[in-house]
Structure 1
Amino acid sequence: MSIDYDGRRFRALGGGDGVCAEYHQHGDLVWAVFEGGHVRRGTVTGICDERGVLRLAYTMVLESGEVIAGHSTNTPQRFGGALVLREVWERYGEQAAAGVSYLEEVCATEPTGAAR
């Protein structure tokens, strides 16, 4: 599944936490900025392969002042025509953790729920 991520926006499946990311792409290079909910600001940067799989590094600053860093592999899936990313992530440092999240694409005209 070849995907151009440039200009696409994603949020947690169901819009849960109010965090929304806007992606950009140039060739295989992909990056995004995200904020909302408990996240003051975050960024991801990485590579997109020919199947649309993203391999990303991320950093974010939370409202609490905590700084978090980690990496993820995001695999695109289609659910009823909607683009969803299955995100397998790992966080580094004192708050080390790992898990799986799902991100849904948000239409440009749809509210994101972002606090900013």
Structure 2
Amino acid sequence: MNYIQASSEHLETIYRLTQDTIRSIYPSYYPKEVVDFFCSHHSREAIQSDIENKNVWILFVNDTIVGTGSRDENHINRVFVIPDFQGNGYGSFIMQQLENKIGEVYDEVLLDASLCAIQLYEKRGYSTVSYEKTAVENGSILVYIVMKKELSHITSAINYDGKCFSTKSNTSGGDVNSKTVFNYHQLGDILWADYQGGNISKGFLVGNVEKDGTLDFHYQHINTKKQIRIGKCHSMPQTLSNGKISLHEEWQWLDGNCDVGSSVIEEM
């Protein structure tokens, strides 16, 4: 898996990915006139302009571009994953990367949510700002929701030694769930933890606390199916309003089909 900034050579692939995804998914939620509006809104010219402004990123799995995401200042737009690759956590991964980038400068992120994506954004902590509508051809109306999410800047001065975390959310395909508990330890910039509960019989992780406060580690566990699984994870800490720590994680299996996903764990 490789997530990079798009260049002009990727224009046609991003355009086709966007158009094909809209034509495949949106007719279940909108009339034809609205689908046509979305397709014209995400034109080659619009995508090229965003690429020139260095606002577009693409996600490769092996040698295939499976998804794309864009932003304009603190506004996320044009997040699409090829239908055949949906359900593997790629959309969540792209969203997290965009939020991370925006969070370097801004305290909140905004987006316009189509009807087919509202539940996804709510699960990521977005709340409704307003309901909007736009008239399109033949009297049809496009209805969408403006949503926002408060972003906490990376917290670097955290000592994880003795802290316990439980899982709040996880992408399908992951093994940990709400019954999994992590017991963390730290010595200098070295981090390790043991975890168990739920689908996990016993697990361990070890890694580093980076200078920017993020965590990079590898994990290994045996689950209740007697499978031994290994993977890697990049974790971004945020401080909640109650002072506790929340870790927003992007993980990837290093065995099997090497699926990716995202999870959130919070200090108990």
What range describes the TM-score normalised by the shorter chain of this pair? 0.7 to 0.9
Q: Which has the higher strand share?
A: 1
Whether 1:31 and 2:171 are equivalent positions in the alignment is: no
Q: Helix, strand or coil for the counterpart of 1:13?
A: strand
Whether 1:11 and 2:166 are equivalent positions in the alignment is: yes
User: Offset at 1:68?
Assistant: 0.5
Map of 1:1-116 to 2, 5 A cutoff?
A: 1=155, 2-13=157-168, 16-80=177-241, 81-106=243-268
Q: TM-score, normalised by structure 1?
A: 0.84
- The 1:95–1:36 alpha-carbon spacing in structure 2 relative to 1, beyond 3 Å, is farther
Any conservation in 1 of the 2:168–2:178 contact (CA below 8 Å)?
Answer: no
- Greater RCO structure (CA 8 Å; 6+ sep): 1
Distance 2:196 2:160 in 1: 18
Q: Which runs of 5+ in 1 are unaligned?
A: 107-116
**Percent identity of equivalent pairs:** 29
Q: Could you say which residue in structure 2 is the equivalent of 1:109? A: none
User: Offset at 1:95?
Assistant: 4.6
Distance 1:5 1:49 in 2: 13
Any conservation in 2 of the 1:32–1:43 contact (CA below 8 Å)?
Answer: yes
| Larger gyration radius, structure 1 or structure 2 | 2
Any conservation in 2 of the 1:3–1:51 contact (CA below 8 Å)?
Answer: no
Distance 1:74 1:3 in 2: 13
Distance 1:36 1:95 in 2: 24
Q: Which has the higher helix share?
A: 2
Q: TM-score, normalised by structure 2?
A: 0.38
User: Offset at 1:38?
Assistant: 1.1
List per-residue Cα deviations over 1:56-114 (Å, max 9, x = no partner): 000010011011100001100123233100010000222521111001001xxxxxxxx
Q: CA RMSD in A?
A: 1.4
Q: How many residues align?
A: 105
Distance 1:95 1:68 in 2: 12
Distance 2:208 2:229 in 1: 20
